[in-house]
Structure 1
């Protein structure tokens, strides 16, 4: 491992970048998943159609292709929009961090939409009717009755989506974000030990996904603790 001396700081900061991308993409995916699931279960035909288009497009397109299209497409769109107000602007480069985080959030959010939709459908209708009978408004019914029960049902698949987000962060190196895979590529151009470097990256990702798996396992135990006495 002495070959990596001088690169550990770069790997550390690359890891911090991965964690930041993971946090932003997870927040976006959860928000889009809840919005998409709510739209698919709404009475509005337009909202259901929009949510269906969203899930079909982002679940059907290759993730790397979505990332590239979003990165270059958003840069062109931003440039066009700014030029409407300032023609002197030549080109606006979208930061790889935000392009990658948003793209991953959009992709995984499409999968979360279906996970949350199925979990919402699994909530006991009797509990919802009881909440309405207690004069809870729709907002209170959603957040205090439906979401807590949906969360318990969605947790197993939600953990898989978290793992997908973590692994997808490796894709962002292709658009120039200096995360751990990007650092490994740079280090390889100097030390010429690709196997050692990529195994190091693999071990880092394995450590992070193991932590996620353990955390989700504890969340499942906590979410299902009220069921222990009924078994």
Structure 2
């Protein structure tokens, strides 16, 4: 059942922020906030499917998050394992195809294998594409694409005179995704924190005060309704 979006948004990206502050406000360990945040992930995925959104991208763990205490990083990776073990079957039931972006070199080999298996299990799904950004940084992504381009140019495999935005974008990890129409950040912070720097050039931005564990179906509905009230000109009059 389509809800707000008519026609549906193609791509919504969300910076899921506020798990730690949610837990701190309740005198709970940060880990509890992360687990409650995982429940919000499920709610938002289900609602996005109902809205007919084609692509949903969630910023789960940034390249900067490796600076957090080792115990918290270990807990976050354990939560990801728990989520994938439990939720992939539900994604398949909803015809959702799973995708990951980010620097896998910093992940353990068993985590990389788990990501690959999860992607493979949903490869046949033809509905919404759910992309989870793990160990991801926008600057690093652009730099990696530039290095690849430079190597190809030095080897004579690419003509720089023919380079344009589309051909450069094809070298990014998101090459098979449309650019986001809308980015939502929770927790009241108003920055994009090195997320999809190239891809967000013309995205509408909505910053909400709600902490991520409290972000639910109604909160997503409200953000999409706000998006519909905006007029997108892409630089035109």
Judge same fold: TM > 0.5, yes or no. no
Short-chain TM bin: under 0.3
Structure number with larger C-alpha Rg: 1
More helix by share: 1
TM-score of the superposition, structure 2-length normalised? 0.26
- With the length of structure 1 as denominator, give the TM-score of the two structures: 0.26
